[in-house]
Amino acid sequence: MTGGTSLPRADYLLALQTESARLAGIAPAQLNLALPHIEAWTVHNVIGHTAWVYRWVELLLQAPIDAPPRRSSVPEPPAGADVLHWFAEAAASLLSALDAATPDQMVTTFTGPQPASWWCRRLAHETAMHRWDAEAAFTTPEPIDAALALDGIDEVLEVFVPARMHFDVLAGQGETVHLHATDIEHGEWVLTFGADEVRWEHAHTKADVAARGPVSDLLLMLWGRIPPSRVELFGDSALLDRWQRAATF
């Protein structure tokens, strides 16, 4: 398994600031709109959830690593338009906390202890994805920034596959997938499905199925936001349907 190079910490913080500002700028009239791709979720749910995560992570940054806070320490999001102020307040406070944190300070994460800079990466991707989610309810969403999306695919493979992939559903027996981003350099991955792992590398190799398209679309496909049919496919596309059923992160 070969990982890619993460972006500089400052780039993650800038992406978090930019994408959270876009979420904070959503109009109150759009809060009750339903997401077309996540059943029973509205724009309000997206904004409330993201703000809740911000507040939770800020507590993790402040807590001793051997005494993490209870999840109940963070209240549920407020109803109605008040959620926008609650979000903006949480985003500003989180950005200050991340900026002030020593990058190599060890903190709690869902993958075990990690440097505080781990959360800069995770929350940049969290916010960009949820900004896309919210916009999908009322317009054609702007793609996720290509450099961020490139790193986001590495993050899926490095972080979420080992921690949260349903390997019983993936049922890997050596099948291979080639992802090829058409709009950025170094945007190729070859994945091999195993019984209890997904091996991967940055490479250009023939595979059982190849998926070609903008890097934002490839990331959205891995996260189940868009169907595989939204990108150009060659070979056994059923493998990507299996991925989406198994990767309910």
- What confidence category does residue 4 fall into, taking pLDDT thresholds of 50, 70 and 90? very low
**Of 166, 125, 153, 154, residue with least CA distance to 214:** 153
Position 46 pLDDT exceeds 90: yes
Position 23 pLDDT exceeds 80: yes
How does pLDDT run across 66-121, given as a tens digit for each residue?
A: 999 999 999 999 999 999 999 999 999 999 999 999 999 999 999 999 999 999 99
pTM of the model: 0.97
Position 6 pLDDT exceeds 90: no
> What confidence score (pLDDT) does residue 1 get?
52
Give the type of residue at 183: D
Q: How many CB atoms lie within 10 A of CB 184?
A: 13
Position 36 pLDDT exceeds 50: yes
> What confidence score (pLDDT) does residue 3 get?
47
Mean predicted confidence (pLDDT) in 149-164: 98
Q: Which domains does the chain have, with CATH numbers?
A: 9-135 (1.20.120.450), 167-246 (3.30.1050.10)
Tokens of 196: 């209890």
> What confidence score (pLDDT) does residue 131 get?
98
What percent of the chain has a predicted confidence (pLDDT) above 90?
98
Distance (Å, rounded) from C-alpha 93 to C-alpha 114?
21
Q: Are 103 and 114 in contact (CB under 8 A)?
A: no
Specify the pairing of strand 114-115 against strand 176-181.
unpaired
DSSP label of 68 = P
User: What integer best gives the mean pLDDT of the chain?
Assistant: 96
Q: Are 128 and 201 in contact (CB under 8 A)?
A: no
How does pLDDT run across 79-92, given as a tens digit for each residue?
A: 999 999 999 999 99
> What confidence score (pLDDT) does residue 143 get?
98
Tokens of 166: 């349903």
What SS3 state is found at 112? strand
Tokens of 75: 């209240």
Give the type of residue at 2: T
